[in-house]
Amino acid sequence: MEKTLKKFAGKFISASLGARSGPSRPLIGCLDDKITWNRKADETKFLEEVFHGLFINSISFLRPVEPYKSLMAFLARKALESNGSISPKDCETRTFLHDLPVIDDFNPDKIIQILKKRKTVIVASEKERSKGIGPAVIAQGTVSPEQGFVTISSVCFACFVKFFTDYLDALQKGIATDRDHAVLDGVTPYLKPVPEKKPSLMKGPFQNEGSVYSAVIEAGFKTVEYGLVDSYFGNVSYLWNKTLYISQTGSSLDELSGCIDPVPLDGSTSAGITASSELSAHMETIFKTGCRAILHGHPKFSVILSMDCDPIEKSNCSFQDQCHIKCPKKRFVAGIPIVPGEVGTGPFGLCNTLPQALEKNDGAIVYGHGLFTIGKNDFSEAFANLLKVEQACQHHYLEKIGRLRKGL
């Protein structure tokens, strides 16, 4: 148990969400015959009350580091001034979290009531804020501490995307406030540039199944290591010998060993039953493009810019609140197409929009969801494109808000 708790506490730190010391040190508890914590902390007293009020296996508590600390604090204060929740529009939040409930004190009963219905709650105490202490995210797990890590990671990602999306929208509408500007200026020093140096990946085309598995595992690991994901979300696949080797649904991209499904293109086995929910989009992309490698991550600024829309056009759009699945406009950022589409199949599934975009491009961004890139023989080209597009999106975003703030 202690090894597991240490592992996920370390994941928070390696993902640049938590710290090794101080208020942002991760706190994780897990129930076996008793509740075991990864460290001693004052918060364990009320968190154990929460434990006893729920049928859960684990609980995770984190006060995120910058820039998430300031972004979350800002959004949480706005939520407490309105309806008590933060409502991001990115795909992962829509699908898994819906919105992010916020409360203003560490009241076990309040937390229990929320966690009976939701996966997480943000606690933004005015008393702690006045002392410079950031908000806390609490997440439950019914199976393992991994669930808490995934949920809190997703909350941090969602808050990042929401602030920068809302800020750009406010600038374009001319309604950005001094408070908005102050938050942006405060977090700008914490924005990390997208890495310039590409990793050295296995060269293809691969000659045997063992090499395929190794290449898929390596590509997934590097995608997480380079911070091109939300938590570990994303997927990766490679075509070899008329079989698509694809990461399983819900698998950790940085731990794909044993979590890759070999799915024959002719559908002759049921191996695809546990494959990524985007299997159909991968299959159609393979058929249409002739590529062998597909890599999908959730780079932040690619997601943010995918939701950027001219305010005037948006106000007259008949597809408001359905942009992510029905946007009819041809849109591009940094020369990369942005397409609508929802996870899975169906009339608005990614399998109907993404493959067509990738026929003429080495990458495509799905509205509010993430970036897909392809490679002819291995993952080197796909990974390079993933970095290139996110670099361009980050640069484009910062340049655009700079112009808008100057009134250009």
The CATH number for 77's domain is 3.40.225.10
Same domain, yes or no: 376 and 241: yes
274 vs 82, residue with greater confidence: 82
Which of 158, 176, 200 finishes a domain? 158
| Ranges 158-167, 248-257, 309-318: which has the least confidence | 309-318
Beta bridge partners, 85, equal 101
Q: Which DSSP category does 320 fall into?
A: T
Whether residue 268 lies inside any domain: the answer is yes
Rounded (10°) angle between helices 145-173 and 178-187: 130
Spatial contact of 123 and 138, defined as CB atoms under 8 Å apart: yes
Q: Are residues 148 and 225 in the same domain?
A: no
Report yes or no on 353 lying in a domain: yes
Same domain, 146 and 218: no
* Claim to verify: residue 147 and residue 232 sit in the same structural domain: no
Domain presence at residue 344: yes
Q: Structurally, how many domains does the chain consist of?
A: 2
- The SS3 call for residue 17 is coil
In a domain, 201, yes or no: no
237 and 335 assigned to the same domain: yes
Tell me, yes or no, whether 151 and 219 share the same domain. Answer: no
Q: What pTM does this model have?
A: 0.94
CB 85 within 8 A of CB 101: yes
Q: Which residues pair with 243 in a beta bridge?
A: 240, 264
- Kindly state whether residues 26 and 106 are assigned to the same domain: yes
DSSP state at residue 96: I
Domain range for 154 is: 2-158
Longest dimension (CA), the chain: 63
Of 158, 191, 224, which residue constitutes the final position of a domain? 158
DSSP labels for 311-324? HHHHHT-TTTT-HH
Question: 136 and 234 share a domain?
Answer: no
- Residue at which a domain ends, from 141, 158, 175: 158
The Cα 242–Cα 193 span in angstroms is: 39
What is the model's pLDDT at position 408?
A: 61
Q: What percent of the chain has pLDDT over 70?
A: 98
> What per-residue confidence (pLDDT) applies to 321?
72
* Alpha-carbon span 400 to 346, nearest angstrom: 36
Same domain flag for 142 and 216: no
What average pLDDT score do residues 299-320 get?
A: 82
Strands 243-247 and 363-366: unpaired
